[in-house]
Amino acid sequence: MRPLRDPVWQRHGISWIWNAQARNQLCTASEVWSLRQFLQAVEQWPRDLPSKHGNTLVVGGLDGSLDLLTPDDAETWLGEEIKEAILSFQSHYQGETALIFWLPCGQDRIKCHPATDSIEWRCAAPDTDRLLPFGRILWGEANEYPQEIFLRDGSQSAGLFHRRIT
């Protein structure tokens, strides 16, 4: 997976971040939308987004919602509801804004396979032995793989960035 040190992920594309410092660079806690707000806004997107001078939307709650579902239901919901909402957002803003999912436990739950660049999500108890094919579900047909976000040289991964999913 290619590393990304450029802050382009704060202005464009779709990202999944788990680093608190990265989230704090984007917005205040009051600017984070709930997953419910995000899903309700589909096809009724606001002109200006709440963060980064109206160009960035940070959404919290995806991880908790996945944890409430069985692995099979989570896979279906992620591929149908969440992906469709992401595609709607992308289409409405024509790739000129950033959609960022705040996953505070993501570093422990996202599993990257360097040999294949595949990304999986570790399910919550009692299904911790199950992995959702996160990348295949959300960007399986994309022409490029996500990049791993680093805030500075030598730091741990802060998240994943994808320019555009299809």
Task: Give pLDDT tens digits for 110-157.
Answer: 998 878 878 999 999 999 999 999 999 998 856 567 899 999 888 899
pLDDT in the model for residue 66: 96
Percent of the chain with pLDDT over 90: 84
State how far the Cα of 60 lies from the Cα of 39, in Å rounded to an integer. Answer: 12
Has residue 85 got a pLDDT over 90?
Answer: yes
Task: Give just the sign of the alpha carbon dihedral 68, 71, 73, 79.
Answer: positive
pLDDT in the model for residue 19: 95
pLDDT in the model for residue 96: 93
CA gyration radius for the chain? 15
E strand intervals along the chain: 3-4, 13-17, 33-34, 56-60, 98-102, 110-113, 118-122, 131-132, 147-150, 157-162
| 8 Å CB contact between 56 and 100 | yes
Name the burial class of residue 121, with classes exposed (0-12), middle (13-18) and buried (19+) by CB atoms within 10 angstroms of its CB: buried
Hey, what amino acid is at 23?
R
pLDDT in the model for residue 115: 81
pLDDT in the model for residue 143: 53
Name the burial class of residue 70, with classes exposed (0-12), middle (13-18) and buried (19+) by CB atoms within 10 angstroms of its CB: exposed
State how far the Cα of 105 lies from the Cα of 65, in Å rounded to an integer. Answer: 13
Please report where in the chains the tokens 């450029």 appear, as a residue: 6
pLDDT in the model for residue 142: 61
Domain coordinates in residue numbering, the chain:
3-162
Average pLDDT over all residues of the chain: 93
pLDDT in the model for residue 55: 95
Has residue 62 got a pLDDT over 80?
Answer: yes
